[in-house]
Structure 1
Amino acid sequence: MAEADIIKAITEVLKADGNVAPLAEGRVFGGELPEGEAQFMPRNAMVIQPSGGVSLAAGSFLNHDTQRIDLFSYGATPFEAEALRRLCRRALVNVRRRIVGGCLMHWIEPAGGFFAGRDPDAAWPRAFQSYQVFHALEEI
């Protein structure tokens, strides 16, 4: 059986959300911004990256785990980047026992507060928040 792709599932959740999708205009990416996107930045876009953290399922024999993710939202202005982050938060915390792209997600919760500032390399306006996702490891 194939392993579930939690990053892909989260990008699909955000692309399908009726509030996030119009503002992001389809620019929701897993891992990093695609190479061709940089020439058009800064503009509304999101990047979902896996990050470290303690597994809440450690020591169990569950075929489930938790994954911490970092969500970076970009905008033409700091206000736009932060507005996009807030919409993403609402979309993510509303996920409850949902199958998306073959991945069963039980819940997504904030893993701390948010931060707004500028990308350290390109100085694009950016907002950031981490989340913890409890999900099945095998594709459904």
Structure 2
Amino acid sequence: MAEADVIGALVEALKADSIISVLTADRVFGGELPKGETRDMPRHAIVLAPSGGVSLAQGSFVQHDTQRVDLLAYAETPKEANALAASASRVLRSIRRQILSGCLIHWAEPAGGFSARRDGATQWPVAFQPYQVFHALQEVS
């Protein structure tokens, strides 16, 4: 059985939301912005990137784990980036025991507060918030 793709599942959840889809024109990505997108930035886009963090399943034999995921919401202005991050948060917080792209996600919850800044290299407005996601390790159908 294949390993579940938690980032791909979260990308699917955001793209399936009608508000996020309209705001981003489906520019929701896992890992990083594709090179082809950067020439047209800043504009509305979301990146979900895996990051470190403590596993809530450590020491157990359960075939589930938690993954910290950083949400980066880009937009033309800081206010728009914050609004996009808030819309994405609404979607992620609503995930409860769903199978998305073959990944069973039990929940996605904020792992800290949000911050707003300009990207250090590009100066694009970006809002940031970490999430903790509890999910199955193996792909399910």
TM range (shorter): over 0.9
Equivalenced residues, count = 140
Q: What pairs up with 1:27-38 in 2 under 5 angstroms?
A: 27-38=27-38
SS at match of 1:85: helix
| Corresponding position: 1:114 with 2:114 | yes
Rounded Cα–Cα distance in structure 2 between residues aligned with 1:111 and 1:104: 19
Rounded Cα–Cα distance in structure 1 between residues aligned with 2:85 and 2:111: 14
Q: What pairs up with 1:78-93 in 2 under 5 angstroms?
A: 78-93=78-93
SS at match of 2:69: strand
| Corresponding position: 1:94 with 2:94 | yes
Cα RMSD of the aligned pairs, angstroms, is 0.5
Partner of 1:132: 132
Deviations 1:20-47 (CA, angstroms, capped at 9, x unpaired): 1110110000000000111000000000
Deviations 1:37-80 (CA, angstroms, capped at 9, x unpaired): 11000000000000000000000000000000000000011111
So what's the TM-score if we normalise by structure 1? 0.99
Rounded Cα–Cα distance in structure 1 between residues aligned with 2:107 and 2:45: 23
Amino acid of the structure 1 residue aligned with 2:110: P
Deviations 1:77-127 (CA, angstroms, capped at 9, x unpaired): 111111100000000000000000000000000000000010010000000
Q: What pairs up with 1:5-16 in 2 under 5 angstroms?
A: 5-16=5-16
Partner of 1:26: 26
SS at match of 1:81: helix
Amino acid of the structure 2 residue aligned with 1:77: T
State the identity as a percent.
Answer: 61
| Corresponding position: 1:4 with 2:1 | no
Preserved CA contact (<8 Å) 2:20 2:26: no
So what's the TM-score if we normalise by structure 2? 0.98
Q: How many Å apart are 1:19 and its aligned residue?
A: 1.8
Structure 1: unaligned runs, 5 residues or longer: none
Structure 2: unaligned runs, 5 residues or longer: none
